[in-house]
Amino acid sequence: MTSTALVYMMTPGLACFYGGLVESKNFLNQIFLSIVCMAIIPVQWCLFGYSFAFGPGNSVFGSFNYAVLRSFGFNNFYGENSDPMNSLTIPSLTFVSFQCAFAIITVALISGSVVGRMKLIPYMIFVFLWSTFCYDPLARWIFSGQGWLNRMGIIDFAGGMVVHFASGISGLVAAIILGSRSNFDPNVLKTGQTHLPFTVLGTGMLWVGWMGFNGGSAVAANGIASLAIVNTNVAAASSMIMWIILDIILGKAAGQNLGVVSIPGTCSATVVGLVVITPGAGYLMTSTALVYMMTPGLACFYGGLVESKNFLNQIFLSIVCMAIIPVQWCLFGYSFAFGPGNSVFGSFNYAVLRSFGLNNFYGENSDPMNSLTIPSLTFVSFQCAFAIITAALISGSVVGRMKLIPYMIFVFLWSTFCYDPLARWVFSRQGWLNRMGTIDFAGGIVVHFASGISGLVAAIILGSRSHFDPDVLKTGQTHLPFTMLGTGMLWVGWMGFNGGSAVAANGIASLAIVNTNIAAASSMVMWIILDIIFGKVAGQNLGVVSVPGTCSATVVGLVVITPGAGYVQPGYALLIGLIGGCSIYLFLL
């Protein structure tokens, strides 16, 4: 299941989030403590963990009936094998894997309470035992239909008690027992935080993963899952914005001037928003999740290309779009773009998404777009992801030249007066460009053209970064690994961006995904060939390949295929990618 993969992604995200908050000397240790849970828990879960939590037994304890998962075959479905939980048509091993991902992230949450105070082997033993005697029983009591708390009517949609309450209490107890880190290292408080970009990146990864965490808990691709996804995004976005507003008004950013926003605080507030909505949130299309992943990928891609002093600022400008746009989209953005109205403007009919219920499907509620059998809220979330990445694309044009609050206001207004109308004209069947026969499969006009022109205009109006910092051109690029990481994340996310635009799991979606990969690959190969032949890498030897150029060519390949990804044959996608690779090479000479 898509949600299972997203929840697994939360543990590396948590590792980055925690790692950026600890002292430099504990940075690698913190990341490893989180990641090692991905090794210990699956072993324990396979041996007897799942059987203890969901196997036959009484209301308090499970049994060894499902030990080493011996009762499961390819044809077993969730609910069979005397499991009293409802028989949904998903393979049993999918449910096993989904619940295992929950167990992993739960115990990984505790790692931040013991970092710098527990050696690896004792920690691994602790993780194994804690999962056996704490997590497994609690999961049975609440998640299993046999559990005594479940039978009493306890409602915990996605783990407010089993995951967050259990890990929070356990982490607190562990910290008290082990004592302050200053007892282990007297100089711990004197060490500055030097890895905050990892915290910002981890926040983005957690945000994306949380959509699987909450949405997947519906155990079906239905309206409840769609509601969970929308609620997850809105809660995280509103919590992040509330922190920023309070931080600016009260000037509580430690050691900084009034109005400066604390990045650790902002990231923590975002995670709090994700936590507090979990117990009552409510499956999301694979494509939607992939498109959401593009924004953290873009943050990494841009971050590695700017000067070191603007690195954190660039990442934050991209990630903050994940807060501004969902709020605007929920308030009136979706209604303006896809609500009832005329060929130019929408209306307030769908404001705050008030016309959507769990049983509404895309195409109903007088929306003239075709009535496909996907929940309306899934389509809302998918289009919101498009709006987020479009606004985030502009951030690279203003980095180092625009402060946070003016940028946030700009993003809100730009989405309202530029993106929403353009999305209506092209994507909505009521739009005048759509009715004239304009073909834009996945956003060549709405996303890339709009953000490109807007970014260019913004850069011209603001002027060169050298006007703001005369030494900007003297600063070297020191974060290129982030650019390569971001390129990979964008490449994967783009398959959802183009493939999901078919709005169905059909042949057109498959064609779009194949064309997306071919165009990106051919553009990248073309750049490498040209770079080797002509040796135009500034200051380097003949035949040396430019990493920023190669990454940029890959993204260009993804961009140029977007408008026609679902319309052209793979051979033409190869040609389009080659032309894209040539064009970017010529422009960057």
Check which CATH number belongs to the domain holding 163 and give it.
1.10.3430.10
Asked if residue 335 is part of any domain, the answer here is yes
Asked if residue 242 is part of any domain, the answer here is yes
Asked if residue 9 is part of any domain, the answer here is no
Asked if residue 6 is part of any domain, the answer here is no
Which secondary-structure segment (H or E) carries 41?
helix 37-44
Section 268-274 average pLDDT: 90
Asked if residue 502 is part of any domain, the answer here is yes
- pLDDT tens digit sequence for 90-100: 677 788 888 99
Asked if residue 359 is part of any domain, the answer here is yes
Higher pLDDT, 551 or 588: 551
8 A C-beta contact, residue 282 and residue 491: no
Q: Are residues 468 and 491 located together in one domain of the fold?
A: no
| CA distances from residue 402 to 204, 298, 539 in whole angstroms, order as listed | 22, 18, 32
- pLDDT tens digit sequence for 119-131: 889 999 999 999 9
Higher pLDDT, 97 or 534: 97
Q: How many domains does the chain have?
A: 3
Asked if residue 519 is part of any domain, the answer here is yes
Higher pLDDT, 168 or 86: 168
Domain end position, chosen among 477, 509, 543: 477
Alpha helices in 320-430 (DSSP H): 321-328, 334-338, 376-394, 404-414, 420-427
Residue of 91, 84, 121, 103 lying closest to 45 (CA atoms): 103
Q: Are residues 54 and 128 located together in one domain of the fold?
A: yes
Domain end position, chosen among 139, 169, 192: 192
Residue 566 DSSP code: T
Token pair 């992604």 in the structure block, residue: 9
Q: Are residues 103 and 125 located together in one domain of the fold?
A: yes
d(CA 235, CA 37): 28
Instruction: Give long-range contacts, CB 8 A cutoff, 24+ apart: 432-438.
Output: 432/343, 432/344, 435/343
| Phi, psi for 64 (deg, rounded to 5) | -100, 15
How large is the greatest C-alpha to C-alpha distance in the chain, in angstroms?
73
Domain end position, chosen among 129, 158, 192: 192
- pLDDT tens digit sequence for 376-388: 888 888 999 999 9
d(CA 5, CA 7): 6
8 A C-beta contact, residue 408 and residue 266: no
Q: Are residues 176 and 232 located together in one domain of the fold?
A: no
Q: Are residues 132 and 178 located together in one domain of the fold?
A: yes
| The pLDDT value given to residue 44 | 92
Q: Are residues 393 and 492 located together in one domain of the fold?
A: no
Q: Are residues 130 and 247 located together in one domain of the fold?
A: no
Supply the Cα-derived Rg of the chain in whole angstroms.
25
Q: How many residues does the chain have?
A: 589
Highest mean pLDDT among 222-231, 355-364, 451-460, 466-475: 451-460
Band (369; pLDDT cuts 50, 70, 90): very low
Q: Are residues 256 and 122 located together in one domain of the fold?
A: no
Higher pLDDT, 420 or 61: 420
d(CA 465, CA 477): 15
User: Vertex 38, ends 34 and 39: CA angle to 5°?
Assistant: 115
In degrees to the nearest 10, what's the CA dihedral of 220, 385, 303, 560?
110
Domain that holds residue 179: 22-192
Q: Are residues 446 and 369 located together in one domain of the fold?
A: yes
| CA distances from residue 516 to 511, 521, 578, 584 in whole angstroms, order as listed | 8, 9, 13, 17
Which residues are within 8 A (CB) of 283 and not within 5 positions of it... i.e. 6 or more apart? 1, 2, 3, 215, 216, 218, 220, 221, 222, 225
Helix count and strand count (H, E) for the chain: 26, 0
Question: Does the pLDDT of residue 568 top 80, yes or no?
Answer: yes
Section 472-499 average pLDDT: 82
Range scoring the smallest mean pLDDT among 27-31, 185-189, 396-400, 544-548: 185-189
Q: Are residues 505 and 543 located together in one domain of the fold?
A: yes
| The pLDDT value given to residue 80 | 42
Asked if residue 253 is part of any domain, the answer here is yes
Question: Does the pLDDT of residue 504 top 90, yes or no?
Answer: no
CA atoms within 13 A on the CB side of 102: 33
Q: Are residues 182 and 237 located together in one domain of the fold?
A: no
Q: Are residues 290 and 365 located together in one domain of the fold?
A: yes
Question: Does the pLDDT of residue 86 top 50, yes or no?
Answer: no
The rounded mean pLDDT for the chain is 84
